[in-house]
Structure formats: structure tokens, C-alpha cells
Amino acid sequence: MARRKARTSITIPEKLLSELDRKACEQGRTRSDMVCEAVSAYFTDEEERLLAEGYKEMAGESLDVQTAGGCWPENWTG
């Protein structure tokens, strides 16, 4: 199934636009494809960064419980 697309207008520095157009031409792609890929990669990277922060926080909480002499909840299956 094809994804629905919407047209938008953005403002970017001329130098960045020139680089975008050059890269798109080199790769035989459209400017829109390049921008979509870049935005998608940004969101993926952001999600991965947030997950990594969450894992680090959970690990820290685990260590806090262990060093405080506490125990895990009975229903924990980790």
C-alpha cells in the first residue's frame, strides 16, 4: 500500500540546499526523498537515544535496590 504524502514548504540555508541538491543528483534521488530519509533517521536516532537513557536509568535503579539491601517485587520476572 502506498503511503499518503503531503506537500509542505520549508526554509533552509542556501548552502544546505545546494548540498542537498548535489547529493540528490549524485544518487539519482529527489530532494524530497533525501529530506524524508533524513527526518526519518533523526526520529529513529532520537528514539534509540531515549531507549538507551531509559535502560541506563533502569540499571541505576536496579543497582540502588541491590546496594540498599532491598529486594525485587515478587511479580518481577526479569
pLDDT in tens, the chain (78 residues): 667 889 999 999 999 999 999 999 999 999 999 999 999 999 998 888 888 787 777 776 665 555 655 565 665 655
Contacts of 34 (CB under 8 A, 6+ apart): 20, 23, 24, 27
What range does the domain containing 44 cover? 21-67
Would 34 be classed as within a structural domain? yes
Would 61 be classed as within a structural domain? yes
CA–CA separation, 45 vs 14, rounded Å?
Answer: 26
Would 52 be classed as within a structural domain? yes
- For the chain, what is the domain count? 1
Would 43 be classed as within a structural domain? yes
Would 28 be classed as within a structural domain? yes
Would 8 be classed as within a structural domain? no
